[in-house]
Amino acid sequence: MRMSRMFGHTLREAPTEADTPSHALLLRGGYIDQLMSGVYTFMPLGHRVKRNIEQVIREEMDGAGAQEVTMPAIQPAELWDSTGRRAAMGDVLFQLTDRRDRELALGPTHEEVVTRLFSDHAVSYRDLPVTLYQIQTKFRDEARPRGGLIRVREFTMKDAYSFDADDAGLDGSYNAMFEAYRRIFARCGVPTVPVQADSGAIGGKGSQEFIFLTNIGEDTIILCDTCTYAANQEKAEFVRPAAIPGDPAPIEEVATPGVTSIEALAEFLGIEARQTAKAVFFMAKQNSTGVTYPVFAVVRGDMDVNEVKLANALSVGGRGGVELRPMVDSEIAAYGIVAGYASPVGLPSELQSDVRVVADLSLDAAPNLVAGANKPGFHLRNVNLGRDWTPAVTGDIASAQAGHGCARCAAEGRDGHLRAERGIEMGHVFRLDTTYTNKMNVAVQDANGGQLTPTMGCYGIGVGRILSAAVEAHFDDAGIQWPAEIAPYDVHLVGIGLDRDAEAAADAEALYAELTKVGLDVLFDDRDERPGVKFNDADLLGMPVRLTVSSRNTKAGVVETKARAAAEAESVARADVLARVQALRAEAIASCSVEAIERIARAGSGPA
């Protein structure tokens, strides 16, 4: 491709809307163009990167035995009702009606559609196992798009779905996809850490996320400093710091005027935060019925409530999937809650009939805590769970934090501790079990003529997120450093002074043809621009290898050759240039092995 003919141009400065390094560099390099918030056009350069990522994904999916399909982006809403997920998705689901007033949805994912597809075509156990995948446009009405391609409203996703006869079959399909994901991220140069994750609205019996650790990440990831344990904070298990022991003492009221926070309470009474009980109030909506009810969550004062864990605890408690939001001031007042002085002991009568009290595990062995007295200016000393109050549900509803003990290490006799990192979800693999096949009444004939309900897995990767993460992992002050397999071009050929030197111009044209003939993709800067502009653009655009042809180099019989990540260029004999470029490309591809990339991933956040 000749740059004189390429659509788009580079920018010297980052647009003001850029909020991450990758966002700024992709806009400056002319890789993407914003149409509106969370919606982008992939320009010619960006489209080539996207296409290369999709090719890596296809090769690994096909190699793992999956078969590609393309399913509709527009879906009948009744499919979503059949599994209860229209309510569970809430406002994220784009919904519309056609001219016949039929309710439709723009697919954020395709579990229902693929289950319907399988049901229409699979007849017996002989049709199992099967894994279907697609690379398709998805839609999610995100409230706060950010980070360029990191969180958007329209995006390209690879989603795959496996169908198996039993759990052993699902294990095989799941593991095949897991290993394929490791190879995909490595080949794309994106360092990821697999972590235990919450399954969210998709459901199922367990899932893992592949996380790119970066300071711009939206998620908090918990990792052990001793073993390989890693989990999203929404799922992370941990060893709670020990409570201060003691025999239950009589409850007593103490005046605490103006003391409304845990920190202030501990200081006022001369105690530690772990000797207090923290109350947090939510409104829960039961997805299956739309009914809302108040939730009173209680954790030890040195911990924080984890909303995802709390929602899961409520689901286990028998009310089905729920959505949570913090109570607003008007609701707090309406229910008679005294903010800053609330307690599960002696709840106001307005709360008694419908409140759902949930206690964290940390309270089981924490005697004589200080809790609110449910009246302004007073707290209660020596509050004990079981004697003074009884929760409806007890479970793990607290967030793991840096410094907490690792539960896996503790179980195996080690003294591991957790650290916290920020990260971005790059891919997610789920064991769906029979969640969808049961709800949608899908069955095939088994070997004995009976009925068999297939078990499922699903596996998603965000193509745009890989593109952005590759930039976040590989850039410097000058611009992007594309990993070899996804770079828009293999070589950036820079011609200097070609309009003034026919011999150099002929040399550049001949080199362009030679490189192209052997299958290398070449971006040829044939523009009438100053050398500094051309070199700056080459660094910004970030092709793996830059070759420079000039009058001086041609006369000397050499081509200036520079790997994008190298500190210095080298002069290579004209006859050896092709071999040197191919060697540099091979080295770059080898540097993105699974082992090399995963070593970088575990090291922590920041550019690789």
Residue 285: which pLDDT band, with cuts at 50, 70 and 90? confident
The angle at the Cα of 144, spanning 142 to 147, to the nearest 5 degrees, equals 105
Q: What is the pLDDT of residues 102-152, one digit of tens each?
A: 999 999 999 999 999 999 999 999 999 999 999 999 999 998 898 999 999
Residues 62 and 133: their CA atoms lie apart, in Å, by 9
Backbone Cα Rg of the chain: 29
The three-state secondary structure class of 588 is: helix
Token pair listed for 335 = 């229910």
Beta bridge partners, 546, equal 492, 562
- In terms of DSSP H, where are the helices of 276-426? 307-314, 329-334, 349-352, 407-411
Calculate the CA 197 to chain-centre distance.
Answer: 10
Give pLDDT, residue 429: 95
Question: Positive or negative CA dihedral for 571, 575, 581, 586?
Answer: negative
User: DSSP assignment, residue 389?
Assistant: B
Q: Up-side HSE of residue 485: CA atoms within 13 Å toward CB?
A: 22
Give pLDDT, residue 337: 87
SS (H, E, C) 188-243: CCCCCEEEEECCHHHCCCCEEEEEEECCCCCEEEEEECCCCCEEECCCCCCECCCC
pLDDT at 365 over 70: yes
Give pLDDT, residue 319: 43
Distances (CA, A) of 38 to 26, 271, 316: 14, 48, 35
Give pLDDT, residue 289: 73
CB-based contacts of 389, cutoff 8 Å, min separation 6? 343, 344, 345, 357, 383
Residues 181 and 173: their CA atoms lie apart, in Å, by 12
Give pLDDT, residue 599: 83
Tokens 């193509």 belong to: 463
Mean pLDDT to the nearest integer, 405-421: 95
SS (H, E, C) 547-580: EEECHHHHHHCEEEEEECCCCCCEEEEHHHHHHH
Distances (CA, A) of 92 to 59, 194, 322: 31, 26, 15
Helix, strand, coil % (nearest 5) of the chain? 35, 30, 40
Other C-beta atoms lying within 10 Å of the C-beta of residue 500: 9
Residue 47: which pLDDT band, with cuts at 50, 70 and 90? very high
pLDDT at 317 over 50: no
Give pLDDT, residue 290: 75
pLDDT at 593 over 60: yes
Q: What is the pLDDT of residues 513-536, one digit of tens each?
A: 999 999 999 999 999 999 999 999
**Per-residue burial over 401-438, b = 16 or more CB atoms within 10 Å of its CB, e = otherwise:** beebbbbbbeeeeeebebebbbbbbbbbbbbbbbbbbe
Q: What is the pLDDT of residues 425-468, one digit of tens each?
A: 999 999 999 999 999 999 999 999 999 999 999 999 999 999 99
Residues 535 and 525: their CA atoms lie apart, in Å, by 10
Q: Up-side HSE of residue 314: CA atoms within 13 Å toward CB?
A: 28
Tokens 């954790």 belong to: 299
Question: Positive or negative CA dihedral for 32, 33, 39, 41?
Answer: negative
The answer to whether the CB of 522 falls within 8 A of the CB of 508 is no
Domains by residue range for the chain, with CATH = 54-218+420-471 (3.30.930.10), 252-395 (3.90.960.10), 484-590 (3.40.50.800)
Residue 59: which pLDDT band, with cuts at 50, 70 and 90? very high
Pairing of strands 154-164, 130-139: antiparallel
Q: What is the mean pLDDT of the chain?
A: 93
Q: What is the pLDDT of residues 385-396, one digit of tens each?
A: 999 999 999 999
In 3D space, the residue among 481, 469, 542 whose CA is nearest the CA of residue 148 turns out to be 469
